[in-house]
Amino acid sequence: MGRDVRELRSAWTKYQHHAFHEPSPALAPWVARYWEARWDYAEPYRQKIVPYPNVHLVFGGGRAEVNGVRSGYQLRVLEGRDRVFGVAFRPGCFRPFLGASVSTITDRVVPAAEVFGPDLPTTLDVATVEAFLLEHLPDDDPRTRQAVAAVELIAGATAVTRVERLADELGLSMRGLQRLFAEYVGIGPKWVIRRYRLHEVTARMAAGGVIDWAALAADLGYVDQGHFIRDFKTMFGEPPTWYAQRY
The residues near 190 (Cβ < 8 Å, ≥ 6 apart) are 163
Under-50 pLDDT residues of the chain: none
Where exactly are the structural domains of the chain?
5-135, 142-244
Question: What pLDDT, on the 0 to 100 scale, is given for residue 1?
Answer: 53
* Superfamily for domain range 142-244: Homeodomain-like (1.10.10.60)
Percentage above 70 pLDDT, the chain? 99
Quick one: DSSP state of residue 116?
A: H
pLDDT, tens digit (0-9, with 9 covering 90-100), for 36-72? 999 999 999 999 999 999 999 999 988 999 999 999 9
User: How many angstroms separate the CA atoms of 94 and 151, rounded?
Assistant: 13
Beta bridge partners of 129: none
pLDDT, tens digit (0-9, with 9 covering 90-100), for 4-42? 999 988 898 999 999 999 999 999 999 999 999 999 999
Question: What pLDDT, on the 0 to 100 scale, is given for residue 211?
Answer: 87
Q: Per DSSP, which regions of the chain are E strands?
A: 16-21, 31-49, 56-60, 63-67, 74-89, 109-111
